[in-house]
Amino acid sequence: MWDGFYYTSPINSMTFHGLLKAKSRNAEYWSLFDPFHWRLWVAICVTVILGTVVAGLIAYLERAWDPREDPLEFGAMLYHSVTLLLGGHRRGDDLSGAMATSSGAARLHRLGLLFLALIMTSSFTANLAAFLTNPRRVVSGPGTLDELSAATACVNDWWLSSYVTNFAGGVVWPPDGAYELDDYAGRTQWCVDAVKDDDSEVDVFLTFDAQFVLLEHCDSLVKAPGIEFEPTPVYGITHSYDIMRNVSQAIYRLRSDRPYYDVVNAHYRTYDMCPGAMDTEDSSEQISVRSMESVFLIFFANAAVAIGLALFDARRRRRDAKTEAREAALEAAAARETDAPRNPLRGDSRRLAHMFGNGARLRLSQSRGRGRGAPDAPRRALAPRRSAELALV
């Protein structure tokens, strides 16, 4: 009684709860790979191979103008790419290809691989711990009233469908005539089997006897935490004011004391609980390719920049190589001119006189005179004198 009004408590109520399918999660041989979706594993393998191709391309562009003795080996570069991805590379390890160079493009590409390794290994390790420590049961079906509105529910009798049709997306019940009118346990088992069947369209079993049903199927059913509604409270109305007041006060006092609930538990097992009922269901989710899109985008963008840097460096090396080749050719030509042997018969008069005597100097002067285009008559007139001079010599 509050504010001079008397409120009659329900004599009977029908509170519906949802029962969902629970399957035991058995350990498998390949549980180690569960943290990543199989598509993500494929994406990682493809990325490692493409990263190795990028490393080989960078090494090829570097060696085109700076050749080395050791050849490019794709297998060795793939090994070092996987090693970097797993975080197993240590300082001093033998590297190959672009992994072994100290150019800007090679260093940038190695940073991309290390970034990819950091994200993948940390994500895998964190999710692996969740998969290894998750509960042993996997629960499927709607967990809230919002999810129930899109699910198919089962009730164990046709007349109950009118109470839940506004809450569920669809309602089914046992076939008419399949069970006797008083075969409540048989109809209940039909809904339980429908929920447990993987090929069935039933997602949840709605019943106001959820506690009894749950205690009998602890290994295969679990109560939905967010599905509970009471569409049909039944009130007892009387024309006697005194009776209505006394009943209301008696129900209020009963439900305010612990002994009332002990009596209810003795008949309805309200205190009982399935083993492991406090464990939450397996909520671990595999990491998908979509959640790692930004990581792959950053890696390939970094690889593209590394290739561009390698191309720019190769072009610069080619230009420098052409310049060095041109300078070397000029130096070689100059060296040939400097080192060429000279004709001993060509030279000045003093050198010829030292080698062959003064007569050679005279003959050299005469040849130079003829080279200047002197007239023939004076030349012939001087011929006897020159012959006499030569005879004296």
Q: Is it true that domain 10-25+137-268 has CATH number 3.40.190.10?
A: yes
The pLDDT value given to residue 92: 43
| CA–CA dist 151, 142 (Å, integer) | 7
Q: Residue 306 carries which DSSP code?
A: H
Structure-token pair, residue 202: 């039933």
The pLDDT value given to residue 187: 92
Q: Which of 24, 109, 115, 101 is nearest to 68 (CA)?
A: 101
The pLDDT value given to residue 392: 39
pTM of the model: 0.48
**Tens of each residue's pLDDT in the chain, 393 residues:** 444 444 555 566 678 999 999 887 665 667 778 888 889 999 999 988 888 888 888 877 777 655 554 555 667 777 777 777 776 555 444 444 445 566 788 888 888 888 888 888 888 888 887 777 665 677 889 989 999 999 999 999 888 888 899 999 999 999 988 888 888 889 999 999 999 998 889 999 999 888 889 888 888 898 888 898 887 666 666 677 777 778 778 877 887 888 888 887 787 777 777 776 555 555 567 788 888 889 889 989 988 998 888 888 888 888 887 888 888 888 887 777 776 555 555 555 555 455 555 554 445 455 555 544 445 544 544 444 444 444 434
Pairing relation of β-strands 152-154 and 204-207? parallel
DSSP states of 59-124 = HHHHHTTS--SSPP-HHHHHHHHHHHHHT---TT----GGGG--SHHHHHHHHHHHHHHHHHHHHH
Structure-token pair, residue 358: 């003064």
What's 31-133+289-314's CATH class? Answer: mainly alpha
The pLDDT value given to residue 29: 65
Q: Which of 10, 109, 115, 14 is nearest to 56 (CA)?
A: 109
Same fold, 10-25+137-268 and 31-133+289-314: no
Q: What is the mean pLDDT of the chain?
A: 75
Indicate the domain borders of the chain. Answer: 10-25+137-268, 31-133+289-314, 349-392
Structure-token pair, residue 201: 């369209």
The pLDDT value given to residue 369: 52
Torsion angle (degrees, nearest 10) of CA 147, 148, 152, 154? 150
